Structure 1
């Protein structure tokens, strides 16, 4: 039986700010239970809902050497969906209203968490063969492990994997300060270890010291070796390329299932979507005050409203797009300029544009179920889950060929009758526009072909089962 510990700063259903939580909370359920004992360790934030906090059982507590002092570390656990979750407790660090605050506080908080993860292991009767670390918040785990091995037999032979969910976020701060916080020897703060461009960099430390490095799609694993996507670590990614693997994230197919989904008005499946999917569309048109027209092509955008998501391209051609026979439904929050841009167009074209500048899980399900197409023109996208959700609901993705979008959306080929969506290559507003208009043409003029694409999209399997098998292979190789 192989023992795997996920170290993460967030996990569903306890705390979530992004896709990392879905991976850390959902993936462990899909491993072969006979061969892998997978558990998860995360901070016990005060912002975790009380209903979960009340279910946690006390395991132990101890005092850890920390910043020239000894600091309290509590350990609680909760079994959910057959997976054991451990929670590291220290209200001084994890007492805020949100899991993350300013980077100055966060670098200290997650250094504490990384050291506490390792310090907890000898006391909970669980010695993992592999610690699977996620993103910069756990980047110091492999570094501390290297340091702990010298004086403690227990830690020898434990392997580590570092998964990069988004290379843009690295956890960097002033080297002198990080040295004081972590208590790590000066030896670690060299340019070939933790230091990058005069600062200490948590993610870099994790990449340097982990036995294997993974990212969340094959294309992204290649992209981050180039200066454009490499966020100044492309040299390091090339140096470690023999240990680098890309494994696409999956989707929890129990939660995202158009046939069973309670959050949508009409359930449908690949057998009956032709009749039933459109009922969701007219229901949503009524709810959002758009013109009720079952034949109008509806395009959805569910996204953080930021530059990374390609919204500057949308802003550039939005007026032109609104001249077409389409409706656009937007859901999300983010940068003020994009929030206001969508509000403006919803005011200018009330029949055609609905701007929902908030986030709501039920509304996101309704949009995936109701729309005909889904627009995702990202500048970069390590994996992306929205396109997987839209494929699952037969809403054809229109994407830019980058990262996980390129790996999961096969562009429609009208001659070979293949493909599950539409794509464009260059980061260019008019190229995006051409892809949208091509999709419109197929939707309006070749309805039978369109429905065949929807059928292929809905039959694709991007469940976690696929990803879990690839991770199992990776674990076995270690």
Structure 2
């Protein structure tokens, strides 16, 4: 029986700010229970929903040195869907209104968390063969582990994997301050270890010291070796290329299932979507005060409204696109300029554009189920989950060929009659618009072909089962 510990800063259903939480919360359930005992360790945030906080069982506590301070470390536990979750408790660090706040506070908070994860292992009686670290918040774990091995037999032989969900976020701060917080010896703070461009960099340290590095799609694993996507770490990524691999994320096929989804107006399947799917569209048109027209092509957008997600391209051509026979439904929050852009077009084209500047899980399900196409023109996208959800619901993704989007959406080929969506390669607004219009043309003029693409999309398997098998292979190699 191999013992695996996931260490991360968030996981569904306890705390979520992005796709990282979906991975850490869902993936452990899909491992072969006879061969792998996978457990998860998280911070116990005060901002967790009370229903979860009340279910946590106190296990034990101890005191830990963090350089010159002595800190309380509480350990709580919860069994959820067959997985053991541990929560590290310290009110000084985890009492904020949100899991992340100011960077200087987060730097200390996650130094504490990283050391506490390792210090808790002997206390809870779980010695993992592999610690699977996620993103910069756990980047110090492989370094503390290296440091603990001197003079402590217990920690020898534990392997680490560092998974990069988004290389843009690295956890960097002034070297002197990080040295003071962590108490790590100065030989770690050099350019071939923790230091990058004169600052201490948590993610870089994790990448240098981890036994294996993974990222969330094979295309992104290649892209981050180039200066454009490498966020100044492309040299390091090339140096560690032999230990780097990409494994595409999955989605929870129980949560996202058009046949059983409780959030949508009409359930449907790959067998009956031709008749039933459109009923969701009509229901959403009524709910959002769009023109009622079950023949109109509806395009959905569910996203953080940021530059990374390609909204500058949309901004460039949205007015022109609104001249077409389409409807656009957007859901999400983010940069004010993009929130206001959608509000403006919803005001200018009231029956055609619906701007929902908030986030709601039920509304996102309605959009995946109701729309005909889903627009995701990202500048870069390590994996992306929205396109997987839209494929599952037979809502054809229109994406830019980058990262996970390139790995998961096969562009339609009208001659070979293959493909599960539409894509364009250059980061260019007019190329995006041409692709949207090509999709419109297939939708309106070749309905039979369109329905065949929908059928192929709905038959794809991007469940966690597939990803779990890939991770199991990696664990076995280690």
Smaller-chain TM-score bracket: over 0.9
1:50 Cα deviation from its structure 2 partner: 1.2
Partner of 2:271: 271
CA distance in structure 2 between the partners assigned to 1:342 and 1:15 by the alignment = 28
CA distance in structure 1 between the partners assigned to 2:230 and 2:71 by the alignment = 37
1:61 match: secondary structure = strand
1:40 match: secondary structure = strand
Per the normalisation by structure 2, the TM-score is: 1.00
Partner of 1:296: 296
Structure 2 unaligned runs (5+)?
none
Partner of 1:349: 349
1:53 Cα deviation from its structure 2 partner: 1.1
Partner of 1:363: 363
Partner of 1:52: 52
Partner of 2:236: 236
CA distance in structure 2 between the partners assigned to 1:458 and 1:429 by the alignment = 28
1:67 Cα deviation from its structure 2 partner: 3.3
1:22 Cα deviation from its structure 2 partner: 0.4
2:262 match: secondary structure = coil
Structure 1 ranges of 4+ moved more than 4 A: none
2:47 match: secondary structure = coil
Per the normalisation by structure 1, the TM-score is: 1.00
- 1:163 is the counterpart of 2:163: yes
- 1:19 is the counterpart of 2:11: no
CA distance in structure 2 between the partners assigned to 1:113 and 1:179 by the alignment = 16
CA distance in structure 1 between the partners assigned to 2:471 and 2:349 by the alignment = 47
1:389 Cα deviation from its structure 2 partner: 0.2
Partner of 1:151: 151
For residues 215-258 of structure 1, give each alpha carbon's deviation from its aligned partner in whole angstroms, at most 9, with x where no partner exists: 00000000000000000000000000000010000000000000
- 1:42-441 to structure 2, matched below 5 A, reads 42-441=42-441
- 1:476 is the counterpart of 2:446: no
For residues 265-308 of structure 1, give each alpha carbon's deviation from its aligned partner in whole angstroms, at most 9, with x where no partner exists: 10000000000000000000010000000000000000000000
Which shifted more, 256-265 or 46-55?
46-55
1:51 Cα deviation from its structure 2 partner: 1.1
Partner of 1:446: 446
1:69 Cα deviation from its structure 2 partner: 2.4
2:145 match: secondary structure = helix
1:70 Cα deviation from its structure 2 partner: 1.6
Partner of 1:35: 35
Give the RMSD, CA atoms, in angstroms.
0.4
CA distance in structure 2 between the partners assigned to 1:127 and 1:171 by the alignment = 27
Structure 1 unaligned runs (5+)?
none
CA distance in structure 2 between the partners assigned to 1:275 and 1:37 by the alignment = 44
1:71 Cα deviation from its structure 2 partner: 1.0
CA distance in structure 1 between the partners assigned to 2:376 and 2:303 by the alignment = 8
2:473 match: secondary structure = helix
2:151 match: secondary structure = coil
CA distance in structure 1 between the partners assigned to 2:139 and 2:37 by the alignment = 23
- 1:446-465 to structure 2, matched below 5 A, reads 446-465=446-465
1:370 Cα deviation from its structure 2 partner: 0.1
For residues 75-94 of structure 1, give each alpha carbon's deviation from its aligned partner in whole angstroms, at most 9, with x where no partner exists: 01000000000000000000
CA distance in structure 1 between the partners assigned to 2:286 and 2:23 by the alignment = 35
2:375 match: secondary structure = strand
CA distance in structure 2 between the partners assigned to 1:67 and 1:54 by the alignment = 32
